[in-house]
């Protein structure tokens, strides 16, 4: 297992996730901006500094989650976009349970300055739930795809999607 490469794949995945979140926000889709959430969670007021600090934290969190993905890839003897996307579903299922607890620890959610997303972004309706799972699936696909390319031993023997087939 290559910890540094896994972490790097997670950072790239977090960047892609941030781009998708930013695009959704720019399109007036009301979702939780993870960068702003992290930045204000550490006590910074809403603004550019909070977003930048939060973005760095989000990149670190993405790298840490990718380490868990790398362990799963090792257990299943291979990485790839499809396997990463499947892990992304599990990732979303687990982390989505925690979202309703954010107002308990977040200083701006418990007083209404930042809206609580609810479990799985359900505070934004069915489209919020689909978006939440979608960005986690994309994160997993990016991590799986990059990790498979950076660690040749994790690539499939005969590249047929995400299956490991002995040639």
Residue 165 in this model has a pLDDT that exceeds 50: no
Q: Crossing angle, helix 34-41 and helix 48-75, to 10 degrees? A: 110
User: Per-residue confidence at 50, pLDDT binned at 50, 70, 90?
Assistant: very high
Residue 78 in this model has a pLDDT that exceeds 70: yes
Q: What does the domain layout of the chain look like in residue ranges?
A: 3-154
Q: Which one has a higher pLDDT value, 15 or 162?
A: 15
Residue 166: predicted pLDDT = 41
Q: Beta partners for 163?
A: 160
This prediction has a pTM of: 0.86
Residue 155: predicted pLDDT = 62
What's the mean pLDDT in 75-90?
92
State the Cα torsion 129-62-64-42 to the nearest 10°: -90
pLDDT digits (tens, 9 = 90+) for 101-150: 988 888 888 777 888 888 998 988 898 899 999 999 999 999 999 999 99
Q: Which one has a higher pLDDT value, 119 or 155?
A: 119
What's the mean pLDDT in 8-32?
91
C-alpha triplet 74, 69, 32: angle, nearest 5°: 175
What rounded mean pLDDT belongs to the chain?
A: 88
């Amino acid at each position: 297992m290559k910890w540094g490469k896994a972490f790097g794949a997670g950072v790239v995945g977090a960047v892609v996730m941030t781009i998708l979140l930013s695009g959704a926000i720019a399109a007036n889709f009301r979702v939780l901006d993870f960068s702003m959430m992290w930045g204000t969670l550490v006590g910074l007021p809403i603004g550019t500094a909070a977003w930048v600090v939060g973005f760095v934290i989000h990149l670190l969190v993405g790298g840490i989650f990718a380490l868990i993905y790398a362990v799963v890839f090792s257990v299943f003897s291979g990485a790839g976009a499809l396997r990463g996307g499947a892990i992304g579903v599990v990732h979303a299922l687990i982390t989505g349970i925690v979202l309703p607890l954010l107002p308990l620890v977040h200083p701006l959610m418990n007083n209404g300055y930042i809206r609580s997303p609810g479990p799985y972004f359900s505070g934004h309706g069915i489209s919020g739930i689909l978006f939440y799972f979608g960005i986690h699936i994309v994160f997993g696909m990016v991590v799986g795809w990059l990790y498979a390319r950076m660690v040749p031993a994790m690539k499939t023997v005969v590249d047929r999607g995400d299956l490991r087939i002995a040639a």
